[in-house]
Structure 1
Amino acid sequence: MSAEQHLGDAATTQQSGSATQLNRSCESCRALKVRCLPNPETPNQCQRCAKAKRACLFVAPQKRRPRKRTDSRVAQLEREMRAMRVLLKDKHLPVDEGSQDEYDEGNDDDVDFGAQAGTSVRNMHTAQDSGMIPPRPTNYSPVSILPPGSASGASVGALSLPNAQSSHSPDLRMNEDVVDRGIITMETAHELVYLFINDLAPLFPVVVLPTDTNVAQLRQSKPVLFLSVVAAAAIAVDAKLAEILNREIVRLYAERFFIEAEKSLELVQSLLIMIVFSYPPNSPLKIQIYQYTHIAATMALEIGLASKKRVSKKPASRRGGQDQHNVFDQHMAEQARAILGCYHLCSQ
């Protein structure tokens, strides 16, 4: 073979290699996900397309998008970290300065991104100071959550709490409640409990206390339920006192349930009152009504509130002549209200 033939074969190979590459299967076979067999009688047409007498199209394969490199992802995370640090500094929150040098080395656009984020936060504070955004009120006044024109609305407005303290004790001493620590007096506790019985419980009777409830006995026998009732009633009277009592009930409930792992009907009832008559948090991100609802429902199932009570099917004459179905069971009624309250809140 001569040198001219070698050069001609090399040129032919180079031209064929530079030609556009096509898929091995036509579009029809690719859509049907079947094997595409070439037809020896008809060039550029497979056997299935030749038999069906349709056009056989071979297209170029689509180019895959290149995957994002790791260094670009790291740069994006560094930009987000700088923006978060600027936001924390503008809010006067403590920031760890140990890793400051690691994130200071970057491009100019990273610094501009963080500066823009900090500027937006400062603009928000400026708008709030100028009156465009109403700040959260700090001076609370007695309010009422009862509908206007109700028969008991006057009693809520006339209720005063001169003996209630406005400070919160950070020490949670054992065997000492809000009365022992001087947050409220026993007279204030009496007024709040009877406010709950007469005005608040009829709005959502998930927990019903008798009208002749002994407040001192309720405080000693069911301290968690006592505090939840007092905290719920305080919302209708004084928002600042309600905020203090709400923190107290959350801390007491966390001590009993999350730390001591207690489970009882009293804890379920207290949590239901916290859910129904909940104190609004500072931010919508701090709303925990749904979490509280799941905790109450789970505890109610674990202690067996949803199980049926066994009742004898014998006639009243065979049980001594007394119809036990007509005897009111207070404990059974409390369990029924609790499980119905859990079902109602979970269904929402």
Structure 2
Amino acid sequence: MSACSERVKTCQTCARAKIRCLRTPGETVCDRCLRLNKQCYFRPARMRQAWSKKESRLESLERRVEELLGQQSHGGCSQHSDHDQSTPSTTSTAGDVIDRGVVTLGEADALLDSFRRLMMPHFPFVVVPPQMTVSELREQKPFLFLAILSVSVTRDVELQRFLDEETAAVLAKRTVTDHYHKASLETIQGILVSVAWGQHQAGAKGPKRHALRDFSNYLHLAISLVVELELDRPVELRKRCPRMTIDTISPIARPLHILQDEQRAVIGCSFLASCSSVITQKTCTFPWSSRVEAFALELSEKGEYASDQSLIHLVRLQHLFERIDHLSADPNIPTAGYTSPIGDMDAYLHLFRTMYSELQEYTAQLSPHFTDNNCAFTPLPTRYASANCRTVLLAVQLHTVNLYLCQVSLFEKDSIAQLPHSIRVDILCHGLATARSSFDAFLTIALNTERYLSYSQWLQTGFCLILSCKLALMAASDKSMRLNEPRVQALVDKLDMIRVLDTCVSRQLSQEPDRKTGFDYSGWLQWIQEWVERHYNASTSREKVSQGGIAVEHTIVPVHPQHQPTHSAAPFCTADDLGIPVSTEDYIPWPGFPDVVPSDNVLGGWMDLGVISL
């Protein structure tokens, strides 16, 4: 009977009694219930769940391969070898900022054109070919495309913030969460673009987009990818296999344009790491090396773009920058509280003269094409950039290295007073002349274009500005030196630091629209201007008091008796001699750096004017 087949084999009466239930075929009641005249009830049987067959590991892998092959054939994208072109990560272009309607294709094209004309000349380490269209860049290098859009937006705060967050999310997926995505050159290029202009990208409602911590994290991530892909090695030395592997893997030959893109990225990582570490006094994780210089030399000889010719000069100047920095860290050089013998002082003078001579000779050898700030991004056969596309990248680098030599020589050794008077005057004059030259170059930049300066230029310009203030105050504070050395007074007058600061503040205030998007340094510049004017006026007022023979208390800076140096050949004064108190009020918070308690100023050095040895 069909009804019985849909029931369980034991009735409920027998089940409760825990007795075997027997039933005569064809009967609907079991034998026991029939004999005892009891109701016989069978509970309906439960439907068994049909379990699906478990997929084996092999079947799972085969299904995954079929899906990937289907995606590639559907997208119709060309295949690229190894890591020269990244697989459209994070998936394909379907679902990017253009497909979601955040940015139109026309707006993206305008932003890419702006990046090429105004920003790329300041950063020769990532070059977008002029023949590449916005659609091609979007398809072939989606992350680099997104990074370029992110840094190119300068007016729309909300769009700027959204693109920045989108870039960070895609980068996190590529490098951390997506285990199927391989490291690629495109990811490195996108990171470099993000950090190159990250100091200016900030919304009005949030903190700085890229503080110093974020810059270091992003840059170290790019360096780790360079090491992972072995881009810092020549192609013939890229083994791509561990030492315990029996079979050797031959390096994959790559097209010339891919190899040159790799070399530019490696040079960019090394340059940013070295520049930021020297100025901020951090440990450099990617210093100069002979391989980096070899890459730059090869690009200068075989590079596709005119900007490649400047890379060798940037690398060699940065190497000299690092060597000068080693002077301040060398324990054999006279340091605070240490009276060095004459032999050590002679050794220091020899090192200084050697560095100075190398710097002057190298500057004289540079082509006027670079020293005049004319480093346009131009393909060698035809000119791509307009005549107005100029950069101060190499000029700023030259001025920074020259001024850093003065910083190490005049401010970082307490026993520097043992240097001969003529040597210290020469160093000071060299610094004043370099400061004037640096501002002549900087102030020739077209108004409202400072926003396009890269991170290294931004950092170096801030260093040059503060060190110029220190040199000007050092010269202005020593009356005897200015009277005995007319060239010092002439250079101080020519520099005219008060006017320079006033011009910088005026230029910054004139860029009102950029202030809401993070490019606002007017407060920092005004702080420096007030500091310099306060101490400069205090110095001149003491001279007037000294000439009149009347002791008058200054309202801002207390006046102390003019200190007479014990060493006849050391007329420079200290901060105490000038009546400049070392206090927390003289702390200058450089934009983009972490906010710290002034008394615990971890930056110190050139960014803290209150502790300079004037």
Which of the five TM-score ranges fits, normalised by the shorter chain?
Answer: 0.3 to 0.5
Rg larger in structure: 1
- The alignment's TM-score, normalised by the length of structure 1, stands at 0.43
